[in-house]
Amino acid sequence: MSNFKRSTLTGGAAAPSQRDSVLASLRQTKIVAPVKPVLPAELIATILDYLPVPELLRFARTAKRFREMVYDDTRWVQRIKSMGLWDEAEARRRFEEGVRRQREREKEEMARRAGVGGANGAGGAAGNGIAAEGKTPVTLFDAGVEEERIAQRRKTLEEGFADISLTANGSSDSTAGAAHRDPMVALKVLKSVRSIRGHARQEYGRVYGALAPYYLDLARSLSHTDPVLFRAFRDPEQQAQMLAQLKIFAKSDFAQGWHAREEKLETMIGIFENAVLREFEQGYDAGDYDGRMKRYAHVLVTLNGGVAGIDMFIQNHVLMQQKETLGRPLDCLPSVPNGSILLGPSHDFLGRLATALNEQGAVIDKVFPTSVEVLIPFVERVSEEILGEYLTTLFDEAHDRNVESYLKAVSGIFEQCLLFSDMIKPAKSSKDDFSVTIKQIIIRCFEPHIDLYLSEELDFFKKTSEAQVEAWEKRLFDEEASTESFFMANVNRQAAKRDFLTSFKKVVMMPVNVLPTIPLSSPFATSKPAAAQASSGSDALGLSSSRANTPLPDDRAPSPRQEAPTTELAAKAAIMNSRLEGIKSLFSIEIALNLIHATKSNIERAAVFAKIGGQTGEEAKEQCDAIFVQLLQILGTRHIKAGFDKAVNHLADYNPRNVAEHNQPGVAPLVTFLELVNVGDLIQQMVDVFYVQEMVTTKLTDRDDFLSPAVKEKKRFEQMLDERVAAGLNKGIDVLMDEVEYLCATIQQPTDFNPTASEQMMDIGTTQTATRIVDIVSSHTGMLTGSTDKNMLDVFNQEVGLRLFTALCKHLKRQRISIDGAIKLISDTNHYHAYISTLKNKSLTQYFDALRELSQIYLISPKHAKEIATIIADSDRYYGIFRAEEVYEFAERRADWFVVKRDVERAMYGIGCAVM
């Protein structure tokens, strides 16, 4: 509108001069400020969102801009979206197709115009002639088409809402709207809605024109008999379809009072649903599956998905009311022994339940349409009310009676339930993941019991394993006490006290009595020769050299035919000997096997739940790791470690002088200890095999996961075993060296290295002492080959070699060696060197190389004192192992040392080597 208004003259009529003036009208005008709108356009657009459709149409007639606001496509897209009928992908596809068609038309138009231009060029003369004659010129557009386009743009209410008549109060006349519409068209109006950008108002207008009359009429109805809908549609199927459409259509009602209209619609739907449910229930009671039940089930599904009908079908099912006929849970727990469970009754129960579910699956296929899933909710209700109660009753009773029965019941029935889930056949409406869903339903029945089960599984294994080890320890203790009582039975305490000094003297003086005879010229000479054997001292203590051959503690009990010693010292020596014999039975392969078998049973039961996956599956795997960790702790710390510690203590008490027989190929206590080491190595291999097969292969644990409790505990177990073996071997080396020193002191004859003038050198080979020592040492080092870690074996061999070297050097310093006896000494050192070479330890071989070089010092004639001094002073000759002072000490053991001493020392001073 114009902002210029004419002002009224204050002086009456204008003067003629002024009226005639050209500028008179311009002088009489004045500028008036434009009128600003009261409300912003954004606020008006928001208000329009809450207007009824008839009010929107009336508002669009008031102004061009208001019409644009009402006709905005996004407003109608929003209403279609609120009903859930807008498909953005379809809208995008239609838009792209429209753009493509528009471009094709433009290309065709351009091509057509290019063709027309060419024709005009060819016949230009004729065209020009026509124009010259004043005839109609060629137009560049179709006037008829343009007029049709203009008329289309001027249409207001004809698009989409043309069939809606507006009453005086602004509401639509539903009676009139419903009178001229085909009811069958209204039944399918929502299915025909298209998602077209720019045409959302037309699409919503068709929906509104078809459903609004029924919707508004139903909202004004006072009873369920008033709505036009129930008179226009007589079939329940059509009524349900229309009510379902109206419920969807109500979501696009944003106008004032929408909540009351929606409640009225819900009330009518509820009344209709109750009536249909009564018909459905009557058909269910009559068993009319193919008739009334099927018809009204479809009606309920059309109305709202059939939830109420499904609930009624499941709740009133005869299977829920007669669940006792399937089986009783306590049939699995009659008068069975403790720790047992009968899984036959539970198997029959699940079989009957699966048969009943499959039968009802066939009924469901008859009654309900394939668009709804009924079997899954039915199985869920059956699992909760039948299977769940069965499991709870059985598990609670089994737990109260016996924990082992409870554990077997939970794991065994769970496996049966997994097979039971595979027996249920899918219905026609079932999805592809039917079997997975059924398994999840079954698993939910066990979820209340899994935590308690896993906890009880670990506690049960811990208690039973500790009980086995305690029984073994008590068995050993009782047998040791029995043995001690047997050996002390014939001891006369008073007589022992009176004869204590005599016995003590025999024991204490035994090392002196058994020393070999040494020539009087030796500083180690004794007043009288001693026997070559020490049987007298051993017999005085009543010792026996017998050894047990089996690791069973029962076999270590003294035989009734064996006579008990009569003195306290002999009895204590016999007790010590018995303990040494029992070293190899301080822990048992039988106990290890029993514990591993128990672990296998427990883990196999718990591993069944690891198949579930998710959090429950991870908890089951963690519990399997905990059971394996418990095995290693009980078997390792409680059983093996205690046995090794006791064995080491027994070895520490060993004294070779208390043993009568030394003709065996090895030291008996050390042999039995090495057998114990072999048993420990065998148990470790058993644990490794079990870990790989039962834990790693079944993917219960990952051996590469250094944070896994099972991996960490297994490493600790192996480290403990290595430490105990190393400690035992260290003590075993002490025992072995004690035996070597004993043999050197008892078997080595003084004449071996210092024969008398009357004796002739008939044999220049190794002495009996060297042969026996090499045989004993090699037998023990050979026993560890293949049963001990290579690094530990190398350390053991090196330590044995060094200790043997030290013992031989100590023994050599106690001998008198003549030039003739040096030949046997060299033979002995060569024999020792040959044995050490088999150990393939270069650094150790150098020690015996030095010892072999040292033995050459005794072959030099007394005439060559300077050479003796040179050999003593040459430290490189001995690879730095012997210093000159030490070689000098060995040289002092020459039988003729007092003859050559002055010349040797003078020669040593001459070459600048002073050892004194």
| Stretch 762-767: mean pLDDT | 76
Best-predicted range by mean pLDDT (174-178, 396-400, 653-657): 396-400
pLDDT of residue 284 exceeding 50, the answer is: yes
CA-wise closest residue to 639 among 603, 689, 585: 585
Residue 305 — φ and ψ, nearest 5°? 95, -5
At 106 the three-state DSSP class reads helix
Of 254-258, 371-375, 683-687, 705-709, least confident by mean pLDDT is: 705-709
Residue 663 confidence class, pLDDT cut points 50, 70, 90: low
DSSP 7: P
pLDDT of residue 525 exceeding 70, the answer is: no
Q: Positive or negative CA dihedral for 121, 126, 130, 136?
A: negative
Neighbouring residues of 211: CB distance < 8 A, sequence distance ≥ 6: 186, 189, 245, 246, 249
pLDDT of residue 696 exceeding 70, the answer is: yes
Summarize pLDDT for 19-62 with one digit per residue, the tens.
455 566 656 665 555 555 577 888 888 888 888 999 988 988 88
Residue 593 confidence class, pLDDT cut points 50, 70, 90: confident
Residue 718 confidence class, pLDDT cut points 50, 70, 90: confident
The answer to whether domain 748-915 has CATH 2.50.20 is no
pLDDT of residue 889 exceeding 50, the answer is: yes
| Domain map (residue ranges) of the chain | 183-302, 748-915
Residue 664 confidence class, pLDDT cut points 50, 70, 90: low
Beta-carbon count within 10 A of 722 CB: 16
Q: Which value, to the nearest 10 degrees, does the dihedral of the CA atoms of residues 876, 877, 880, 881 take?
A: -170
Neighbouring residues of 695: CB distance < 8 A, sequence distance ≥ 6: 603, 624, 625, 628, 701, 710
pLDDT of residue 534 exceeding 80, the answer is: no
Summarize pLDDT for 539-557 with one digit per residue, the tens.
333 333 333 333 444 444 4
Angle separating helix axes 124-132 and 88-122, nearest 10 degrees: 90
- For 587-736, strand residue ranges (E) read none
Summarize pLDDT for 858-877 with one digit per residue, the tens.
999 888 888 888 888 887 88
Residue 802 confidence class, pLDDT cut points 50, 70, 90: very high
| Stretch 418-424: mean pLDDT | 90
Residues for the chain: how many in total? 916
Residue 83 confidence class, pLDDT cut points 50, 70, 90: very high
Summarize pLDDT for 373-404 with one digit per residue, the tens.
889 999 999 898 899 899 999 999 888 888 88
pLDDT at 484: 56
Share the mean pLDDT of the chain. 76
Q: Which value, to the nearest 10 degrees, does the dihedral of the CA atoms of residues 276, 282, 288, 289 take?
A: 50
CA distance 74 to 598: 72
pLDDT of residue 114 exceeding 80, the answer is: yes
CA-wise closest residue to 564 among 512, 640, 492: 492
pLDDT of residue 494 exceeding 80, the answer is: no
pLDDT at 674: 74
pLDDT at 527: 35
pLDDT of residue 731 exceeding 70, the answer is: yes
pLDDT at 2: 42
The end-to-end CA distance of the chain, in Å, is: 138
Number of H helices, E strands in the chain: 40, 2
Residue 758 confidence class, pLDDT cut points 50, 70, 90: low
